[in-house]
Amino acid sequence: MDQVFAPWRIKWVERDGDSDGCAFCELPERDADRESRIVARSDHAFCLLNNAPYNPGHAMVIPYRHTGSYTDLDDEELLDHSRLVQRTLDAIDDGLGPDGANTGMNLGDSAGGSIGDHLHTHVVPRWEGDTNFMPVVGDTKVIVEAIEDTYDHLHDAFAGQEAVRDPGSDEAIVVE
């Protein structure tokens, strides 16, 4: 029998089951970014650490508007989403120092996404040698850093970034 120690999952198991809503819509409405694992926000999207990460630092950039379709994003949302993906990559580089990253979206339920009706872009840091015998022999992935520590690394890296300016205006797009 495979056993994986994942004490952070108890919050999911014991959660209030009354919510029929979308977690990606509900989380940014709470006034608890650290508890919700939201490491950064922009005008139209937010960056959330994945509670079931493939690697330490596995983040998702998610538009506030509930849509499962990438083509539904208007120009402003699309630009903001893409900029936050860029800033997430920068924060991961600064905060975690990986050798590379994978990015991508699972569009629709059949694409393998666990939340197919709310668009999200995965940003997964990768390190040379981060594949070892455990997934191959033991069918088990070892996450080597606590999600709270990853949150601190990325939150600090986002906070150290300069505000990005919209080329069409004088307003800064600030990631909190």
Torsion angle of C-alpha atoms 145, 150, 156, 162, degrees rounded to 10: 120
CB atoms within 10 A of CB 68: 16
Torsion angle of C-alpha atoms 4, 102, 124, 32, degrees rounded to 10: -130
Active site residues: 120
**Packing angle between helix 147-159 and helix 75-96, nearest 10 degrees?**
110
Angle (nearest 5°) at CA 113 between 137 and 117? 170
